[in-house]
């Protein structure tokens, strides 16, 4: 399930209001002029957007909700989102962190610039509960082969170049990491500070003959010979960094794909474009490539059939649940979204083969610019497809479903509060905190300390949690940052009912 700042806690409707605040540079404390400020939920139609004045001040019309998120955006700084509670007396003060930048040039092995190559800044992220390499920023080279990767938080990155839309890209040039390796190497990572531009990160590509993958596409049993041509591809399953090597099956089904580097892949064929449509033929299998050519592969195909998936939303306290919006996001191709009925039932229709991530949120109705209240509020804490838990990691569709989808909402809101002190023992006002469980961020798990250092979270399930100091809100998904700071504060257990307030002290290196 994707992490987002969309708050799902609503406690009724109130009259319209405005929020005053200030936006400053986190590094210098100076006011930021012209920053764009808006909410994640509109009052009616398009959410209002205001800009800060010469003193960095803004006044923002906000929705008639108890809680919402205020977003702040300015070129040259990292985007920030701050949770706001109705009735908060103090002005909202938001500190934006200056962006870091990596720049350089991509050349072929003869020293000529490569135009329209794709360059990525890569780090480990927590994706669906797993630690995976992920591209955090993309750029495309210009006619001089130059690129700039912007909007980066301070830290260490690998820089990776791949073909993208490059017109003069020899297919023997495979994706490479700075300064010119096939796999990421810790000795070649680029370290940048907030507000710094790290230039000269150049990659000179080397032609790589690689491995040849060959075989034949096999039609389904009993099927007549197809006049259609089959596209065949070897594709990495590396999250966010797809490498694809193409081939075309001949009329006898044979195919050859050249220049494939060692690695783990999915070998896939379709009788039409990808993602396939109902009625297309699809075949796929895992493929491991080492140093030797891979030959005599038989890639069997079957006809793609769309399937329906029925489900039910229930609450842990019984009774009919509030209306929910259940969305499935496909790894490739269109997603599906449906609103649950009054009894909690729903049907997700026409699902095609592939992997789907889930997003479940309350489906609120807006009447005359005001959110219509619901008597029951809830947050998804479980989704089981048959016997398998799929809320966090999603699920695969490759035929009729293994059962119905049962989504459970928790209606018990567990408040977590405390006070944050700096290393000297003074209140750490405006410090940003993240809440994690089982190594990953919980939804709505970012808060900012008030003037007296007090902070507030709310969770929907009892369990073990940790609070982590953040530089900016995006740190909650950064695997390396979480690993580095997971022990800055002691873990705690949240229980139903009232929890004692926490007293936390920032390590000296975390002073803002």
% of residues, the chain, pLDDT over 70? 84
Same domain for 496 and 460: yes
Q: Tell me the CB-side half-sphere exposure of residue 509, using CA atoms within 13 A.
A: 3
What is the secondary structure of 331-355 as a DSSP string?
Answer: SSS--EEEE--TTSEEEEEEEPSEE
pLDDT the model gives residue 8:
32
pLDDT over threshold 50, residue 9: no
pLDDT the model gives residue 500:
94
Whether 483 is in a domain gets the answer yes
Q: Is residue 508 helix, strand or coil? A: helix
Whether 225 is in a domain gets the answer yes
Same domain for 391 and 425: no
Write out pLDDT tens, residues 18-33: 888 899 998 899 999 9
Beta bridge partners of residue 345, listed in sequence order: 312
Same domain for 351 and 329: yes
Q: Which of 26-30, 39-43, 327-331 has the lowest mean pLDDT?
A: 39-43
Taking the C-alpha atoms of residue 1 and residue 8, their distance in angstroms, rounded to an integer, is 14
CATH of the domain at 295: 2.60.40.1120
Whether 7 is in a domain gets the answer no
Cα 323 to chain centroid distance, Å, stands at 25
pLDDT over threshold 70, residue 5: no
Whether 429 is in a domain gets the answer yes
Write out pLDDT tens, residues 231-253: 899 988 665 676 788 888 888 88
Taking the C-alpha atoms of residue 208 and residue 211, their distance in angstroms, rounded to an integer, is 9
| Domain hosting residue 329, numbered range | 307-410
Same domain for 479 and 431: yes
What's the structural domain count of the chain? 5
Taking the C-alpha atoms of residue 101 and residue 116, their distance in angstroms, rounded to an integer, is 19
Closest CA to 478 of 84, 177, 152: 152
Q: Is residue 20 helix, strand or coil? A: strand
Same domain for 387 and 295: no
Same domain for 197 and 108: yes
Same domain for 163 and 123: yes
Q: Which of 24-33, 62-71, 315-324 has the lowest mean pLDDT?
A: 62-71
Q: Tell me the CB-side half-sphere exposure of residue 463, using CA atoms within 13 A.
A: 14
Domain closes at, from 96, 129, 164: 96
Write out pLDDT tens, residues 250-302: 888 899 999 998 888 999 998 888 788 888 899 999 999 999 999 999 999 99
What is the secondary structure of 255-294 as a DSSP string?
Answer: EEEEEEPSEEEEEEEESSSSS--TT-EEEEEEEEE-SS-E
Average of per-residue pLDDT values in the chain = 84
Domain closes at, from 56, 76, 96: 96
CB atoms within 10 A of CB 140: 15
pLDDT band at 2 (very low <50, low <70, confident <90, very high): very low
pLDDT over threshold 80, residue 499: yes
Closest CA to 70 of 86, 55, 56: 86
Taking the C-alpha atoms of residue 319 and residue 470, their distance in angstroms, rounded to an integer, is 39
The phi and psi torsions of 354 (rounded to 5 degrees) equal: 145, 180
Taking the C-alpha atoms of residue 468 and residue 488, their distance in angstroms, rounded to an integer, is 7
482 DSSP 8-state letter: H
Domain closes at, from 61, 96, 131: 96
Cα 271 to chain centroid distance, Å, stands at 31
pLDDT the model gives residue 169:
73
pLDDT over threshold 80, residue 121: yes
Same domain for 197 and 127: yes
CB atoms within 10 A of CB 241: 16
Q: Which of 158-172, 210-224, 270-284, 334-348 has the lowest mean pLDDT?
A: 158-172
Same domain for 326 and 263: no
Q: Are strands 354-362 and 395-397 parallel, antiparallel or unpaired?
A: antiparallel
Same domain for 272 and 324: no
Whether 439 is in a domain gets the answer yes
Same domain for 128 and 35: no
pLDDT the model gives residue 40:
64
Whether 11 is in a domain gets the answer no
pLDDT the model gives residue 301:
92
pLDDT the model gives residue 393:
82
Taking the C-alpha atoms of residue 343 and residue 441, their distance in angstroms, rounded to an integer, is 31
Q: Are the C-beta atoms of residues 414 and 496 closer than 8 Å to each other?
A: yes
- b/e code 72-100 from CB counts within 10 Å (16+ = b): bbbeebbbbbbbbebeeeeebebbbbbbb
Same domain for 470 and 382: no
Whether 4 is in a domain gets the answer no
Whether 294 is in a domain gets the answer yes
């Amino acid at each position: 399930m994707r992490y987002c700042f969309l708050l799902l806690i609503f406690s009724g409707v109130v009259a319209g209001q405005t929020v005053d605040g200030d936006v400053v540079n986190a590094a210098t404390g100076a006011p930021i002029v012209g920053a764009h400020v808006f909410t994640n939920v509109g009052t009616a139609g398009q959410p209002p957007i205001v800009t800060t004045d010469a003193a960095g001040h803004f006044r923002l019309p906000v929705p008639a909700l108890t809680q919402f998120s205020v977003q702040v955006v300015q070129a040259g700084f990292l985007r920030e989102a701050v949770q706001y509670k109705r009735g908060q007396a103090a002005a909202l003060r938001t500190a934006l962190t200056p962006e870091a930048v990596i720049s350089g040039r991509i050349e072929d092995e003869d020293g000529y610039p490569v135009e329209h190559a794709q360059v990525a800044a890569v780090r480990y992220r927590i994706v669906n509960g797993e630690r995976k390499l992920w591209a955090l920023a993309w750029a495309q080279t210009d006619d001089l082969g130059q690129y700039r990767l912007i909007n980066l938080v301070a830290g260490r990155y690998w820089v990776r170049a791949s073909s993208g839309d490059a017109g003069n890209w020899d297919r023997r040039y495979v994706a490479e990491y700075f300064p010119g390796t096939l796999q990421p190497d810790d000795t070649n990572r680029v370290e940048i500070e907030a507000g710094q531009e790290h230039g000269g990160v150049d990659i000179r590509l080397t032609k790589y003959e690689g491995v040849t993958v060959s075989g034949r596409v096999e039609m389904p049993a009993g099927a007549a010979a197809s006049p259609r041509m089959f596209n065949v591809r070897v594709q990495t399953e590396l999250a966010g960094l797809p490498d694809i090597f193409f081939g075309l099956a001949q009329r006898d089904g044979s195919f050859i794909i050249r220049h494939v580097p060692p690695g783990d892949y999915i070998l896939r064929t379709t009788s039409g474009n990808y993602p396939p449509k109902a009625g297309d033929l699809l075949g796929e299998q895992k493929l491991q490539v080492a140093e030797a050519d891979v030959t005599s592969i038989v890639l069997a195909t079957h006809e793609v059939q769309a399937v329906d998936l029925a489900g039910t939303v229930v609450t842990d306290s019984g009774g009919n649940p509030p209306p929910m919006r259940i969305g499935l996001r496909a790894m490739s191709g269109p997603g599906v979204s449906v609103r649950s009925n009054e009894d909690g039932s729903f049907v997700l229709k026409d699902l095609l083969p592939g992997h789907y991530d889930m997003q479940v949120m309350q489906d609120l109705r807006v009447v005359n610019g005001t959110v219509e209240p619901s008597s029951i509020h809830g947050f998804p804490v479980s989704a089981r497809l048959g016997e398998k838990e799929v809320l966090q990691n999603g699920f695969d569709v490759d035929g009729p479903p293994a059962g119905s989808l049962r989504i459970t909402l928790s209606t018990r809101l567990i408040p977590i509060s405390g006070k944050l002190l700096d290393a000297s023992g003074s209140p750490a006002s405006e410090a940003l905190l993240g809440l994690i469980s089982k190594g990953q961020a919980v939804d709505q798990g970012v808060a900012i300390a008030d003037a007296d250092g007090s902070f507030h979270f709310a969770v929907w399930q009892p369990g073990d949690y940790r609070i982590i100091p953040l530089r900016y809100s995006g740190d909650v998904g950064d695997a390396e940052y979480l690993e580095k700071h997971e022990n800055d504060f002691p873990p705690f257990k949240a229980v139903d009912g009232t929890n004692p307030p926490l007293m936390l002290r920032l390590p000296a290196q975390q002073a803002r």
